[in-house]
Chain A
Amino acid sequence: MSSIPLENNDPKGTQTNAQILLFPARLSAAEDRRIDYLFSVRQVVEVLLNADVQYVPFGPEHAEGVTDWRGRILPVLSLESCLGMKMNETVQPTRPIVVRSVSQDSQGQVKDSYAVFQVGAAVRQLSLPLDCEPRDVPSWIADETCLRGVYQMENHLFLIPDLEKILDAKRIEN
Chain B
Amino acid sequence: MPQLAIFQSGNVHFAVERDCIRLIEPITTALKAASGRNRKQTIAHKGQSMLLIDLAVGLGAPAAAPHPRSAKMIVIKGQPAMALWADRIHGVVTAGAEDMDALPLVFAGTARACFPKVLRRKKGLALIVDTGVLARIEASGEDHGLIRQGVREERHAPASETGAKRPGEIPVMRADITVENIVDMKLHQFIGQRVKQVLEQTMTKTMARQGVHL
Chains A and B come from one and the same complex? yes
A167 to chain B, nearest CB (A): 8
User: Please, which residues of chain B bring their CB within 8 A of the CB of A172?
Assistant: 104-106
With beta carbons under 8 angstroms apart, the residue of A52, A66, A171 that contacts B103 is: A66
- Is A108 on the interface with B (CB-CB < 8 A)? no
By secondary structure, the A interface counts as loop
Contact status B110-A173, CB under 8 Å: no
Residue of B nearest to A73 (CB): B101
Q: Say which residue of A58, A73, A115 sits within 8 Å of B110 (CB atoms).
A: A58
Does the CB pair B118–A66 fall under 8 Å?
yes
Q: How far is the CA of A4 from the CA of B3 in the complex (A)?
A: 49
Interface size range of chain B in the complex:
20 to 34
Cβ contact within 8 Å between B59 and A60: no
**Interface membership of A71, Cβ < 8 A:** yes
A73-B101, A73-B104, A73-B118 known; A55 vs B124 contact (CB < 8 Å): no
- Tell me if A63 is interfacial: C-beta within 8 Å of chain B: yes
The answer to whether B103 touches A56 (Cβ under 8 A) is yes
Q: Which residues does chain A contribute within 8 Å of B111, judged by CB atoms?
A: 56-60
Chain A: number of interface residues, binned into ranges: 20 to 34
A72 CB-CB contact with B under 8 Å:
yes
Do residues B104 and A57 form an inter-chain contact, with CB atoms below 8 A? no
Segment at the A interface, from B23-31, B154-162, B165-173, B176-184: B165-173
Q: Is the CB of B125 within 8 A of A58?
A: no
Contact A57 B115 (CB under 8 A): yes
1/0 per residue, CB under 8 A from B, across A51-71: the answer is 010111111110100111001
Residues of B bordering A, CB below 8 Å: 11-13, 55, 58-59, 63, 101-111, 114-115, 118, 120, 124-127, 165, 169-170, 172
A/B interface sample: 17 pairs, CB < 8 A:
A54-B118, A54-B125, A54-B127, A55-B12, A55-B59, A55-B63, A58-B109, A58-B111, A58-B169, A60-B107, A66-B103, A67-B125, A71-B120, A72-B101, A74-B104, A115-B106, A172-B104
Q: A56-B115, A58-B110, A66-B125 are in contact. List 20 more A-B contacts (CB 8 A).
A: A52-B125, A54-B125, A55-B12, A55-B59, A56-B111, A57-B58, A57-B115, A57-B127, A59-B107, A60-B106, A66-B103, A68-B120, A68-B124, A73-B103, A73-B118, A74-B104, A75-B106, A75-B107, A170-B105, A172-B105
Chain A interfacial positions (CB closer than 8 Å to B): 52, 54-61, 63, 66-68, 71-75, 77, 115, 170-174
